[in-house]
Structure 1
Amino acid sequence: MAISKSKPATEKKAASSSKTTEIPTITLKQIGADLAILHDLPKKTVESLFDDMVELVGKHLKKGSKIRISGLGIFQVKKRASRQGRNPATGEAMKIKASKTVGFKIARDLKESL
């Protein structure tokens, strides 16, 4: 996809902070603003779409589904078993409860491009 419109906001911010070594954090709102510029859409519409997307991704992850986003990767819920751990302050042994977390596996094409 060729970008022929004005520079997106995230590129402008990244260019101005090139003097520092800090890695910029790009938010979903900033990506939405860039997409709004690239596709001549209102920012509120794109933000609303992203809000709905995040809500649906969370809903499907809670059900245990895998979320595959082409070109990006796969999100899926992973289970962690209970285990023994240590309190770092006292060194006392303690039991860590079983839990769930979201794992992400990067798409091959994206990984190779990094």
Structure 2
Amino acid sequence: MSKPMTKTELVAAIAEAMGADKKTANAALEAISAVVTKEVAAGGAVTLPGIGKVSCKERPERQVRNPATGATMTKPADKQVKVTIAKALKDSVNA
């Protein structure tokens, strides 16, 4: 398995694909990140065409168990970020 692409490598690849400089590509990546973060934090969802859908799911209060002690405790309600991968991406990986 290969190492994951770093942010620097991703910015360089985006710059090359856009035909722009790295500063512009970095600004585009930061803008996308900010928009997705803002929308998902507000409880919405964002679809990234060809990649997938990022959404926020609320989880209710529930009982959990400490694996070390076996004690049961109540975990408060929280939110979970969920990423659903697009079918097109799955198909291209498995092709």
What residue in structure 1 maps to residue 12 of structure 2?
Answer: 33
What residue in structure 2 maps to residue 10 of structure 1?
Answer: none
8 Å Cα contact 1:28-1:50 kept in structure 2:
no
1:23/1:82 CA distance change after superposition, 3 Å? farther
Alignment size in residue pairs: 93
Larger RCO: Structure 1 or Structure 2 (Cα < 8 Å, ≥ 6 residues apart)?
2
1:113/1:40 CA distance change after superposition, 3 Å? closer
Which is worse superposed, 30-39 or 43-52?
Answer: 30-39
TM-score (norm 1): 0.73
Among the aligned pairs, what percent are the same residue? 32
| Pairing 1:105–2:84 present | yes
Which structure 2 residues correspond to residues 89-104 of structure 1 after superposition, within 5 A? 89-104=68-83
Superposition misfits of 4+ residues, deviation over 6 angstroms: none
1:110/1:35 CA distance change after superposition, 3 Å? same
More strand by share: 2
8 Å Cα contact 1:75-1:104 kept in structure 2:
yes
Unmatched 5+ stretches in structure 2: none
| Pairing 1:82–2:48 present | no
Q: Indicate which of 46, 53, 68 corresponds to 1:67.
A: 46
Compute the RMSD of aligned alpha carbons.
1.4
**How far 1:46 sits from its partner (Å)?**
0.7
Alpha-carbon distance between aligned partners in 2 of 1:45 and 1:29, rounded to the nearest angstrom? 13
What residue in structure 2 maps to residue 3 of structure 1?
Answer: none
Alpha-carbon distance between aligned partners in 2 of 1:28 and 1:34, rounded to the nearest angstrom? 10
TM-score (norm 2): 0.86
- Structure number with larger C-alpha Rg: 1
